[in-house]
Every structure is written in structure tokens, then in C-alpha cells.
Structure 1
Amino acid sequence: MTGQGSEGTFCLVLHSHLPWLAHHGAWPVGEEWLYQAWAHSYLPVVDLLRRFADEGREDVLTLGVTPVLAAQLDDPYCLRGLHDWLGNWQLRAHGAARGLPDLAAREHRASRWALEEFETRWRHGFSPLLRSLVDSRVVELLGGPAAHPFQPLLDERLRAFALRTGLDDTQRRIGTRPEGIWAPECAYAPGMEAGYAAAGVRRFVVDGPSLRGQTWAGRTVGDSDVVCFGRDLEVSYRVWSPKVGYPGDPAYRDFHTYDHPSGLKPSRVTGVHVDPRDKKPYDPDLAAAAVRRHAEDFVDVVVARLRSLRERHGRALVVAAYDTELYGHWWHEGPAWLEAVLRALPEAGVRVTTLRGAVEAGHVAGPVEIPPSSWGAGKDWHTWHGPQVSDIVHGNAEVQRELLELDLSGPVRDPVADQAVREALLSLSSDWAFMVTKDSAADYARYRAKVHADRFAELAALCRTGRGSTGRGHERAAELRRVDGPFGHLDARSL
């Protein structure tokens, strides 16, 4: 075994996020999206972290959980929905037994484990589990602004409100306030660090090109003490990039090919251009061998990168960051690969820690000026501000203008005003523009942006005319809150 940390420091950051999906359709997007990610990513990744905690390991990885996702993972409606979904998964496995016995047996075992895990540990929501992971220091938690807006396109007043609301929400759920955030879409505009400092945020993540590839240390931003960490694309893209990565290996389970009678996935990738009808059956032994091969390759890549950085800069830090949903949902074998890597890196002499741990170890240089940037295509803002989404950009600007013109003051909380702000935040989610630009359920995304904007406009009109204080106004606000109800502590007066 190589000396602990002799090769350098590695930080894995997982960003967990889905937009508000509860009560907004089921298939092919909507609640089905939530339940698939929950069953196939959140359950196994949290199980992995819990086992590391039981072993006494600390600072294993940095876990971002957006407030809007946390709200769904604690929501009684969503908890009941997942329980039903897991039971249906097991029934689908039983239904496949006659025609696909091997697949049915695997899916039965997987669904049984998921049901037991959910019923044993998750029935009271995610927050109790997350709090135990944070309190044991196995993870550092990153928070974020409410409803995951594209912050550079927000008015500064609304940007501060969304961030404060999101951090407050996380503190209420787990008892501590995150010191770091995952900035939605890694989006940055010059000066945002001042707002972060005012909110108590001490560190955040940007994409590597935002630091012109100089990701070998955290950097203080501008004249602030806020530290940004850049995603090392040379290492991160080894796992997943816009074009290549381990999940595309022929041995791994194919995400896109279904047995339509059961809805289960019987095939392996086989080849990039292979027709679904010609894909070969999934073989768990072949997949397990690929996991071992790719874990070894990733460790070799990290060690080589750290050695190169140390030669050039005298210090060595690699930050690799991914969506949590890659592990298990999109890449079936991802959780197994994740565990293999997190166990193998220390054996190879790499110190595995969190962004907090990197700061404590002195991996901070400074200062740096960051240009307008994101982790989207082209590393700029066009995914959220380009011509394909001009209608959404215009609609978002109108929502912001109307919201900031409302008189939200008053001696007591107003449920109509609170719900109006809640609908405005949901309409401003960055997900809708992203889905349109990427042509991924674009009609659904446009509908979601519009329906929340329309609901906001309806409630705003009630506030302006004084009809929000009537019984009908309160009834309408309560009706909408039953379907769009995250951030129950939200007080419109604080805007």
C-alpha cells in the first residue's frame, strides 16, 4: 500500500437534482423520472455512504442535494408514490418470469432489496438519513438556491432571496446550514461571490474552463474570501463526457432498450450503432469485469493527473464532479464502480476528501477573476439564454418584473402571496430551458414553465386587487399549494 495521500488529493462531488415533478404528470417524464432516479440512484448511493459511515470513514465525498429535490424526497405524497412504484417494479419482474427467467430473477432480487431498504430506512423521508451522513462527516453537504434557477439571469434581489430560501430549507431539514453550494448549472456572473459571502456561502463549484483549466487548487474569487473549485475535465470526462465515457462500454446494461411488455431492460449496450433488436442479452459477469477494469483505469488516470499537477504546481488536487443520477439510473453499474473507486484510491496513495477537507489541507490559491460561464454546451449561457429558448427567457423576465413590483409587506404572512412567490420560483427553474435546448421532453418543459408562470400571474392579480385576502383567494392558494408545495417556510414578506 502506498503512503496515505502521498500522490495528492482527490475530491468527488455528486450533484443530486431533479426539478419539482410531484403532481405534474407521470410518464414518460414527471413522477416516473423521480421514482426511477430514487430507486436506482438515491437508494444505492445512500446505502453506500451509510456503509462507509459504519466503517468510520469521514470526508468520502461532497454531496450536493438541491432544496427542490430534498423537498420531494421528504414529501408524503412522493414517499407513497415511490412505495407503490417499487411494488409495481416487483410485480413487473414476476410478470417477466415466463419469457425472460434470468432477467426476472435479477429484477426480483433488485426490487426486493429496494423495497426492504425503503421500508426500513426511508419511510420517514430522506432528511433523517441525510442528517446522519452529515453528522458523521462521511459527506460534506452542498446546498443551493430554491428551485434551481439559472442565477446569472435573476435580478440580484430575487437571486439573494432564492439562495436564502434554499439555505434556510436545508437548515430546517438537517439542522445545520451548508457552507458550500452547488451553483445551478455551475453558472457564474461576475460579482456573484459578494452575494454568496453575504449569505454565508464559503465555497462553490464551477466548471474547469471557468478557471481556464487551472483546477489544481481552489481559488478565492475577486476580492472575497469565497473559494471556488473547478471541475477537472481531464479526469471527469474519463467517466462521462458529451461523447464518450465508461457507461458506453458494450458490457454495461443498455439504458434505452426495453422489454416493452414488462418495462424491464434486458440488453447490454453491445455497440453504439447496434439496433435495439440486435442487442445481446445482459450478462452480469461481463458487466462486473468491466466495472473492475474501469475502476482500475480511473485510479490510474487520477494518479497520473496528480503527479503531473504536482510537477507543474508543487501541489496536487483533482476535483471530479457528476450528476448523482448517473450512478444507477443512467449507468446501471455506476454505484458498484463508485464503491470500487472510493476503496481503491486510498490504496493507491490518494487522499480522498471533501471540498471542506481540501480547504483544511491548504489546497487554496487565490485570487481569480471568473468570466460569465456555466457547465453547459460551450461553457457559456446559451443553453439557458439562446434563441431556442427566447420565449422562456422573455417569460422569466416578465415573471421577475411582476414579482418585484408586488407589494408583499404586511403584519402577518399571506398564504396567497407566499404561493405566488412559490409558483414564480418554480417557473424560473433552469431545467425548463435546458430541456428545450437539448430537445429532451421540450413540450413538457415549455408547459411547466408556462403553467407556473400562469399560476403566479393569477395569484399576483389577486394580491394586487386585494382579493387575495378573501376566502376564495385563500382557497385557491391552498389548492395550488397541495400540488406545488415545496419550501413551506417561505415567507413572501422577506422578499
Structure 2
Amino acid sequence: MAALQLEPLFTSSIFCKTFSTSNVTVEVAGNLIRVIWNEELSKQVNTAEEDLFIEVRKKKKLPILEKKVSHLLSTEFHLDADGPIQLRLIKKKRYQLHLSTSFHYTPKVVLISENERRHHLKWMDIDWEHIQREVEISSGLDWEKDIDIFLHVIRWPEPSTGLKEQEWLHTGLSNHATVLGALKEVSLIIAPKTDIEKTALPNHQITKSPNHQILKTLFRLVFKLPEVVRELAFLDFKIGPSFPFMELKREIWEGDTIQLRAWWNIPDECWKKVKKDLLAPKGLDWKDIDICIQLNQLEPHPILQSTNWLFTDIQDGSAYQAALIIRPKKESKKDLSPAVITSNIAGVPAKPDQIVLLPIDEGRIFTYWHLDRERLAKRLDALSGGDPGKVCTYIRVFHDWAGSLHHHMDVEVHPGFSDNWYLPTAPDRVYRVQLVAISDQGKIESLTDVSNPAQTIRVSPGNNPVSYKEVDLKIEHPTQLELKSVLGSAKHSIGLELLHLHAHLPYFRRRVVYGVSGIWQPMGFPEEWFHEAIRETYVPLILTFERLKSEGVDFRISMDISPTLTNMMRCPLLQEEFLKYIEAHISLARAETDRTGREAHRYHETAWMHLNRFLEVRDCFMRYNGDLTKALKKLQNEGYIEISTCGATHAFLPFFTAFPESVRGQIQTAVLDYRATFGRDPMGIWLPECAYVPGIENFLEEAGLHYFFTETHAVLHADSPAAFGTHAPAYLKGSNVAAFARDPETGRQVWSGEEGYPGDPDYLEFHIRGGPLKYNRITSRSSDYKEPYVREWALEKAAKHAQHFVESRNFRFQYIKNWFWKKPLVVAMYDAELFGHHWYEGTDFLYYLLKKLYYNQNETELITPSAYLARYPRNQEVFITPSSWGDKGTFDRWIYGSVSWMYKHSHEAIRELGAMASDLKTNRQDDQLAKRLVSQAAREVLQSMNSDIPFVISNGHFVDRMKEFFFEDLERFWILANLYRNGGDRPELTACRLQRLEMENPIFPEIDPCAFAR
């Protein structure tokens, strides 16, 4: 199909420009605005008394946006305005409260603002007997019969909330009230009952105010708006007008189909021009025409009031362009020229006929295929002589042995009805598959080439001879310094312990939605995961390590941090969001300390525990200017922790080895990002989900990585018996890369919900809260009945469990110390979020554990992977089996039927990215715009490879939201692919569209697009 060759009345445009002064920069991309200022401006704000604000005005009118930006160096927002805009950075005094009272002594009034629109007011120390006598004498009314007490609330006008500007709340002799809205003034008033009519509204809201005297005002609380102290910076910038815009983009669905969606925005001024230039000369009005959308030369469709249109059943291997056209109703086949607007050209690359094979476990493999329907029909028709009943199609399964293919079995399938299949297999075999058609005469037609290989899992140790090799890796890392301890464990130890924490979260760069009602509770949505992990795990871990340092305790921890997590830690938008999030929790906890003090005394100490923890977390976060990678980098440079990397976006690598450029891109991007974050090269890597298949080690070695972590059975079921079991790493044959296998006993002790420490009855209950915060202890694993949490009991248990853990390792080492010719190693691997998030006392356990290892024993010595390989360069070499640390140690969780469709879409994008990167590398190396386009396209493809999305869907959680994230990544990729292929004729529009996509998804500032070349 040829693209439309139309000269439209309008062309798509986006306004983008950067405006700068010496200390402020504003980047504009459409309606997305990013403001960056230098640190010197922030230092001029005394945050103990003042706040920093951004104020945006259109000309000299009232502000159209005002935003608090204290402790930040940048922010971004959407602004639906155009023309000249004025931006000011100003510092203001903090909100001030003015209390007035006619008492001879001042009552105690406490205001706790849960957020800007939900407030808890409490008043105490009021001498009600004296007040009663005073009011009865002055008014002549009976206190019990004629008088009542009300809270008079005056608010700043906010129509969006639905709250009245004035309201009377009946309080009686209560000493507290919850008040909603942006408050201007609150008064506690005594008035005659007859003057105020109550309604049945919540909180005894009053519809009528007193119609004569107020008997007494007990106190008045006036909320004084923050005063401007000084303007720190000023900048004039411009937002372009609302340009006409039309875009045609690929839309991803679950099935193996292609859809295109056109969307457009045509301002009213442009429609006026359409009427003037196209309709009026023909004597037409709007009622005489249809506005239609046309894709290439296909039949146009009237769009009515739509602003987007979906085209289905799109054929691959073609370029498409959409146009909005005017078609007179009386002459339905004759369009008015020119078109109103045309879209970009959207190319849909031809999909090859192919079959792809993915491993699952010891007894299954998964395959999917794509066959062009027209080509398939012609080939089957030629093979059958026009009689479809004479041809059957099969998946032909081969054993791949020593480079030769041996026919194993055929499985009949119908490519017209299915495009994937789960195949039964035998353990420890390498398989390949091919789609073939076989006629009744025995003639065979290959419908695809032979697939990539897939190896099934070995279920028992092999019988190859045990062999060793020595590798001089020349590894240098700060943690190789001798470990200090009171009893000299470095000199006297009989065993080594490698304690490793896996730190990862998927990259979600979105703001938390708090709503406008003023009522918000943490809900655990994906947008909150990062903030929740920072609050519950990563800051508490840093505080634990810093506490040990300050107490003179030497320790060694191994830790990997995924590049997605470090990018979120360094992301200014998420730093801004976390400050809002933790302030919301502090306010919530303050409100809870007040509520539990009145209503739930048994939870009161726990409420204070949460409040103090939140304050500690905020202080630590601000101490590192919101970037926690600085704290971790410092700990590594001081020799306390060794940080390894992870796959760039935590991709399940065994499902991508058919496309080597994608695995290489994952690993090399991770290494580049680690170098930019921590200022050194990583020594090793955590394979996402510990998922390994043979060949991955080659990509690791190419990237300069020396080790990775794996599941227990990966080494125990190697091709030869594991001479050390899991008590030493093993080199992978054919490489110098070592694999550290997980110790199962330490996993059960710490991680198991049934027999592990976190299930102790005295620990904080994770699931059943008892309020907006967690208040209960586990009490019983088999009952929903929960008792109040007692912090002292929990700390005592954490110390006891730490002692038990130490003694268990020492007993184990005593038992096996003479089995080997070198000190046995225990690799205790855990998800970092176990400590603090799933197990609140987990960081306390770590504190006591590391302290006891330092003070109380000398049989167990802490060590890191680099230190071990430097100390023991001689290790066994093996071929380990495919494995993961998922359920049953297999891959099935990531290839359930609910998610298996994802991989064909990711693989298709990877193929196109590889072609783009190869073209860039060969033909356009000096084209900076092309390099940025391929770099951003690589970011989107990397994110579509994220293993967390299929895992969460497989568990039945946030299914629609996870699919939305996946679809968005790939749809943005195809936009970028089209800009790369077809955007050269309008480079300014391409650059602006790219800038917007870069601002929206700025992950991996350091990325090499050529790493994805084929």
C-alpha cells in the first residue's frame, strides 16, 4: 500500500524550547515543563522557618500554578497555557497559626494536619465549670437545656472539593474534631441551642448560623497565609500555542495482530480556517459535510466527534499514513482538497516466518510462531494440489546433540487456529523445533527455519569427572581488607559467610495520586512501591549500617542493586514524590498518635514508634539530598559492602537468548549505569530471578563481570558432582566466570513463613493492620485474631534469632570443617525487602547479627564475593543446569498462559531495534539525532523486557495496570522507530517529539545504542 500523497491544510507541530538564566533553566516540550535551578538558590532558604516555592503567572495575572519545592533542585509539571509566561522562585514564611482567646489563661489547642485538607483539632485545659457559671450569669440561660458548643469553620474557597466556605460543626463537650478543607479560621463557640438547626449530615454539620448573639468564643485559630520573604530568581519563558497535531502509532494487543491508532488535536481556530478556506468557497456549511478519516487509499470513515480512530487487521511490510478529509454528503465520492491534516508515516516492518523456542523446566518447553497467512495459504495450496485435506502441519522436534539434529517427534498443530504450544520433553536435553507441512504423499515443506536451541533442566548430578581450575582475576575491591572483630575471626574462623541482599524494583516513574478529598491512605499501588521500599527497607538498612559504623563494628555485606532501582533513587521527580509521601505518612502518624491516645491506648506506643521511624527516614533521606545511592556508594568505598549490578531492567534472560543483542544490551547497559552511579566497574551481577541457561556467562565475561549468583540446584545438579556442594563457588566451563549458589538452610531459617524467624508471634503483623498503620503482632499464623504489638518483645526476639543464626552457622562449620581443603562458604541470599518491608524487625535482626558476629564469636567470618575469589582463585569448574530461584526452581512462573503472549511482542521490537542499531552503527554514526532516537528506543525495549510485569500478572495482581505499562513501553518504542525511519523530512518536529519522550522516560542516562546492534 502506498502512503497518501496529500498536501494538508495544516501540518503537525510541537513547540519545544529551552530558556535559561544564570541560575534557572526551563525546558518546554508541548505542555510538559521542567524547571531546574542551581543549589545556591536552595541554600538561601532557611528550611526551618521558610519554604521555597515556584510561582507561574501568565503576564501579570494571578498565579496559574504555585508549588512548594523545598529541598529540591528541579521539578516538572504540565501547563495548559500558551504565550508569555513568568516564573518566579520565591521563599516564603511557613504557614502561621494565630490563637486568640478571652480566657484569663490560654487553653491548650493542638492542630495536627494529616494533609492540606484534613485536620485534627484538639483542645484541653478548659475550665468548663467556670465557663458554665459565667455564661449562665451573663445570658440567663440554662446550660443543659438552652446552650450548646459548636466549631465555626471558615475555609478558603475550593469549588472542586464540594466543601462550603462556612460551616458549623456540633462538638458538645467533646475535646476534638476532624475538620476538612483548606482552613482560613476555626473558632470554638458557645451559642444558644435554638439559634442553630442541626441536620442529619455527618459530624452534626449545621446549615444555619446563629441569628443573634454568640454567647462566648472560647478560642479562635486564624490560619495566616505564608508571606513572601524574597524573590530568588525570575525567568520569562514561552509556551507555544495549541498547534494542530495528528499522529499515527502502533497499538499493542495480546494477540498476534497489528493495529494502528490515529489521534489528533485540532484547535478551534483551525476549524474556523477550514470553514473559510474549504467550505465557504464551495457554498457549504458544517451540516453539508462529513469529516472523515482515511488510511492510505482505504475507504474513509466519518469520525463524528471522535479525536482518535483505531484501524485493525493491518498488514505488515507496509507504510501507512492517515488523513482527516472533508467529504460533501451529496457527493460522497468526491473529497475537498487539500486534506485538513495528515499524520506521520507509520511503517510496519515485515514479520519473518519463524518459530521461537523457550525453556520452562525439566519436562516442558514453550514455542510460538508467526506465519504470514497469505504466504501460508499459497504454500499449503501448492503442496496439496488444491485439496487442504491432503496436508497436515506439524511442529517437528529435534534433539540437538554435538551440533547435529536428531528427529525426536512431530506434534500436529493447525497454524490457523493457534500460534503457540507447550511441548513435553525429557530432562537435560537441548531441543530445537521447526514448523513443517507434510502432504499425504510424504512430501515435506519447511514453513520456518529451525528454531533457536532450548535446554531443559537437569534433575540430578551428572557423572563427568570432577575438575578444577585456577583463575587469576586480579580483582580489587575495598571489601578485601581484613575483617576486624573483637575475637579475631579473620585469623581463627573455620567457615565463611557471604550475606547477600538483592535490591530491585521495576521502574515506575509516576506520581502518587492523593486526590482532592483530603482523605488518603497508602494503598500499595505500583506507583507507591518505590516509596514504600525506601521508607521500610532501604533507608532503615542505611541507618542500620551507619549505626554499626558509629559503634565501631566492622562488617561485610554483599548487595546487588538493580539499575532500575538506582535510577529511581536518582530521579528528581521520584525524590520530590517521596518527600510528599513521607510527609503524608508523618502527618498520618501524628494524627494516629492523637487518635490512639484518645481511643485506642493499647496501640498508642506503636503509633509513636511509626511516627519516630518516619521522622528518621525523612531526616536520612534529606541528609543525602534525596539520592540514597550516595549513601551506598560511601559504604562501598569504605569497605563495608560490595555492590554488584543486575540486568538493566531485570529481564528474564533465558527468554531472550534467541536474540543475543538484547541480552548484551541488558548487561552492558547495567555496567554503564553502575559506573555512572558508583564511580567504578561492578565485579559481579545478580542474574534477574537467578535465571540461567548455558551461554549467559559469555555475555557476562564480555562485559568484564567475574561472578553471578544462582539457585542451589544449579550447582548441585551440574554435569559433574559438586565437590563442595554449595560451600564454594564454581567456575563455568569455557569461561572465567564464577557462580555462587544459595545455601538452602539459611534460606529456610530467615525466609520461610512457616519455620523461619519472620513468622514469630511477637513480630509485627504484615497483612492485618488494625488501623491505617500496622498495630498488631502476628500472634498466631493460623488465626485472624491479633493482639497489640509490643516493641520490646519484638526486639528481644530479634536478638535471640540473631544469636540462633550465629550458633547455627558455627555448629554447621564445626560439623563440615574437615570435609574440604579450604574453608567452607555459606551463601545466604535474600530479597532485600524482606528486611523492613515484609519483616519489620528484619533490620533489627541484621543489626544484632552483625554485632554478635563482631563481638561474640570467631568461628564465622563475613566475606564478599570479590574477597573470596581473590583469596581462593582455585575452584571446581562445571556446566551448571538451567535454573531460577522461582517456584520449583524453574521458569514456569514467567511463561504461564496469561503472560506467554508478551514475548512475541518484545522479540519483534528487539528485532527492529537491532536493525535500527545496526543501521546507526554502519551508516549514521555522526547523526546525533539518530543516536538519541535509537538510545530512547532501546530504553523502551529494555523496559518491555522487565520480568516483574509477567510475574505480577501470573500472581493475579494489578493485571490491567501491568498490561498497561507493557503496552505503553512498546507503543512508545514504535513511535521512536517510525521517527528514526521516517522523521528525516521534518527534523524539528522529530527532535521535539523525541525531547518529550526523553523527558517522560529518562531512565539510563548512560546508554550505548550500538550495544543492541545485531
- The Cα of 1:243 is off from its aligned counterpart by 5.0
3-state SS of paired residue (1:216):
coil
**After the TM superposition, which residues 119-158 of structure 1 pair with which residues of structure 2 at under 5 Å, given as runs?**
119-120=622-623, 122-154=624-656, 155-158=659-662
Give distance in 2, aligned partners of 1:280 and 1:208. Answer: 38
Q: In 2 relative to 1, CA 468–54 (structure 1 residues): closer, same or farther, beyond 3 Å?
A: farther
Deviates more, 1:317-326 or 1:397-406: 397-406
Name the SS of the counterpart of 1:479 in structure 2: helix
Contact 1:59 1:138 in 2 (8 A): yes
Structure 2 letter corresponding to 1:362: Y
The correspondence for 1:402, drawn from 912, 923, 927, is: 912
Question: Alignment partner for residue 205 of structure 1, among 709, 717, 723?
Answer: 709
Distance 1:225 1:474 in 2: 44
Aligned to 2:868, the other structure's residue is in SS state helix
* Alignment partners' CA distance in 1, 2:790 and 2:872: 45
Q: Which residue of 2 aligns with 1:328?
A: 836
Q: 1:236 to 1:125 in 2, by over 3 A?
A: same
Structure 1 residue 387: deviation in Å? Answer: 2.7
Look up the match of 2:46: none
**Which residue in 1 is equivalent to 2:617?**
114
**1:368 maps to 2:878:** yes
Which one of the candidate residues 495, 498, 502 is aligned to 1:11?
498
RMSD: 2.1
- Equivalent pair of 1:96/1:104 in contact (CA under 8 Å): yes
In structure 2, what is the Cα distance between the partners aligned to 1:379 and 1:468?
A: 52
Cα shift at 1:210: 0.8
Instruction: Name segments (4+ residues, structure 1) moved above 6 Å.
Output: none
1:78 equivalenced with 2:574 (yes/no): yes
2:677 aligned with 1:173: yes
Q: Is the 8 A contact 1:462 1:473 kept in 2?
A: yes
Kindly indicate whether the alpha-carbon contact (under 8 Å) linking 1:59 and 1:357 is maintained by their aligned counterparts in 2: no
Report the secondary structure of 1:137's partner residue.
coil
Task: For 1:105, give the aligned amino acid.
Answer: W
1:478 Cα deviation from its structure 2 partner: 2.3
1:453 deviates by 1.4
Q: CA offset at residue 467 of structure 1?
A: 5.2
Q: What's 1:388 paired with?
A: 898
Pairwise mapping of residues 242-391 of structure 1 onto structure 2 (< 5 A)? Answer: 244-260=755-771, 263-275=772-784, 278-314=785-821, 315-346=823-854, 347-348=856-857, 349-362=859-872, 365-391=875-901
Other structure's SS at 1:32 match:
helix
> Which whole-Å CA distance do the structure 2 matches of 1:246 and 1:364 have between them?
35
Report how many residues are paired.
490
> Which structure: larger Rg?
2
Tell me if the contact between 1:186 and 1:374 (Cα under 8 Å) persists in the aligned partners: yes
8 Å CA contact 2:712, 2:744 repeated in 1:
yes
Measure, in 1, the Cα distance between the counterparts of 2:795 and 2:994. 51
TM-fit CA distance, 1:408:
3.4
Tell me, what secondary structure is at the counterpart of 1:281? coil
Return 102-111 or 470-479, whichever deviates more.
Answer: 470-479
Hey, what does 1:188 align to over in structure 2? 692
Compute the displacement of 1:393 (Å).
Answer: 2.3
Once residues 368 and 293 of structure 1 are traced to their aligned partners in structure 2, the CA distance between those partners, rounded to angstroms, is 39
The CA distance in 2 between the partners of 1:81 and 1:251, in whole Å, is: 33
Distance 1:293 1:316 in 2: 25
Please give the alpha-carbon distance, in whole angstroms, between the structure 2 residues aligned to 1:371 and 1:46: 36
Q: Which amino acid aligns with 2:914?
A: L
Higher helix share: 1
Report the CA distance between 1:364 and its aligned residue.
Answer: 5.1
Q: Select between 183-192 and 58-67 the one with higher mean Cα deviation.
A: 58-67
For CA contacts below 8 A with separation 6 or more, give which structure has more relative contact order: 1
**Cα deviation digits, residues 138-195 of structure 1 (max 9, x gap):** 1111012311111122221221122111111111112101111111111111021121
Range with bigger deviation, 125-134 or 23-32: 23-32
Letter paired with 1:420: A
Q: Shift of the alpha carbon at 1:358?
A: 1.7
Q: Secondary structure at the match of 1:408?
A: helix
Q: How far apart, CA to CA, are the structure 2 residues paired with 1:464 and 1:307?
A: 66
Contiguous gaps of at least 5 residues in structure 2: 1-485, 514-522, 598-603, 718-724
Deviation digits for residues 364-413 of structure 1 (CA, Å, limit 9, x no counterpart): 52101111111111112112233332122222222222222323342133
Residue 56 of structure 1: CA displacement?
6.1
1:88, CA displacement in angstroms? 1.0
Q: Following the alignment from structure 2 to structure 1, what is the Cα–Cα distance between the partners of residues 754 and 715?
A: 22
Per-residue displacement from partner, 1:286-337 (whole Å, max 9, x unpaired)? 2112212211221122222323332433431100011111111111100000
Residue 487 of structure 1 and its aligned partner are, at CA, apart by 0.5
Change (3 A) 1:25 1:388: farther
Partners of 1:132 and 1:153 lie apart in 2 by: 36
CA contact (8 A) 2:762 2:794 kept: yes
Extract unaligned runs of 5+ from structure 1.
none
Task: Work out which of the residue numbers 730, 733, 740 in structure 2 matches 1:229.
Answer: 740
* Residue 221 of structure 1: how far off its partner (Å): 0.8
CA contact (8 A) 2:548 2:847 kept: no
Q: Hey, what's the Cα distance between the residues in 2 that align with 1:338 and 1:403?
A: 44
Query: CA–CA distance in 2 between the matches of 1:482 and 1:468?
Result: 23
Q: What's the % identity of the aligned pairs?
A: 28
Matched to 2:958, the amino acid is: A
